[in-house]
Chain A
Amino acid sequence: MWRPHSCGAAVAGMVVALLLQAIPAAAQSPVRTPPSAAAAAAAGDATRGEQLYQSRCGACHSLDANRVGPRHRNVFGRRVAAVPDFHYSAALRKRTFTWDAATLDRWLENPGALVPGTTMGFRVSSAQDRADIIAYLRDHSAPSSP
């Protein structure tokens, strides 16, 4: 068990881990690079998207709870700003489009460019990462849900 006051033990543990190299590289790095970014971008890899969602969006969003941002289950195919008990910005509430692959991609690339005045400022610069995150959100949206 880790003891916060015992740095020596912690460092020794790290050194042992380094020496043993017991953990495969894939497990150490939460994000792997797909072989063909262009090919995968079209479909998006929902498994990688889940890891990205946890690490990039997880400070502000969850699938089932409103936090800094609204809950995300069923967001794909839903009208913008439609979670009833979330307090959206006036800028987002005014809009009427539907979240699909294209609108989500533009949003994640630069929310303030798609919806000036939005309170979400977080950007995802890699197109592949956006495609993977969108695939994850689509996987957690029922086709017929509101």
Chain B
Amino acid sequence: MSVVGKDLQMRRQLVRGSATVLTAAGITALLGARGAALAQKRTGNAGQDVGVLNAAIALEHEGIAAYTIAAGSGLLQPAVVKIGVTFRGHHQRHRDELIKVVTALGGKPAAAKSDAEYATALNAAALKNQTDVLRLALKLERGAANAYLGLIPSLATADRHQLVARMAGDEAFHAAILGNALGDPIPTDGLMFGA
């Protein structure tokens, strides 16, 4: 079953299973802290996870924009543009999966800013050649792999752990390709991400 399917099923079970489905605050009022802890456990800490996953959506929005900006920069060889567009497709898939989860948890998915705003935030004006673009992409991809791995302990359910771990895998794949394109040496030690 998909991540979203499970979350939906969980929410339905919550609604069906108990006449006392209240907000965490309501349960605190009735039962004290123990009740709130129980409620959090049952909802998979939805509130906190929505915020954290929305930050991940924002990260994906920026990644998608970065590849769009790079593809339109005129600095890349056509074959490199093609790879960048493929990577952008992976990030769009991540964004879409995250949006499904946030929506299923009752949250409002974070909206994208304009490409111009991302270009400013990423200092795209400073990019002078293909190597500069690849270096920026590598930095973002490596950072994204590490970011996802560092989010895992903050998320409440195994479904969400698995989703962000899968995305970290994609980002690590991107980082490996980009590092190879730049001629960077292979790291000597294992466990190269997420420490």
Residues of B within 8 A of A120 (CB): 52, 55
- A5 to B177: give the CA distance in the assembly, Å: 12
Whether the Cβ atoms of A67 and B120 lie closer than 8 Å is no
Residues of chain B whose beta carbon lies under 8 Å from any beta carbon of chain A: 47-48, 51-52, 54-55, 58-59, 62, 79-80, 82-83, 120-123, 139-140, 142-144, 146-147, 150-151, 153-155, 180-183, 185-189, 195
* The 6 residue pairs across chains A and B that have the minimum distance between CB atoms: A59-B143, A121-B52, A121-B154, A119-B51, A58-B143, A122-B150
Residue A94 lies at the interface, judged by CB distance under 8 Å to chain B: no
Count of A residues near B, CB < 8 Å?
A: 46
| Chain A residues within CB distance 8 Å of chain B | 2-5, 10, 13-14, 17-18, 23, 25, 27-31, 54-60, 62, 65-69, 89, 91, 110-112, 116-126, 129
For this complex, 10 residue pairs linking A to B, each with C-beta atoms less than 8 Å apart, are A56-B143, A58-B140, A59-B140, A59-B143, A60-B143, A65-B123, A67-B62, A68-B58, A121-B150, A124-B150
Contact between A119 and B54 (Cβ–Cβ < 8 Å)?
Answer: yes
CB neighbours (8 Å) of A57 from chain B are 143
Question: Could you tell me if B121 and A66 are in contact, using CB atoms closer than 8 angstroms?
Answer: yes
CB atoms of B154 and A55 under 8 A apart = no
CA distance A98 to B116 in the complex (A): 33
Contact at B51–A118, with CB atoms within 8 Å? yes
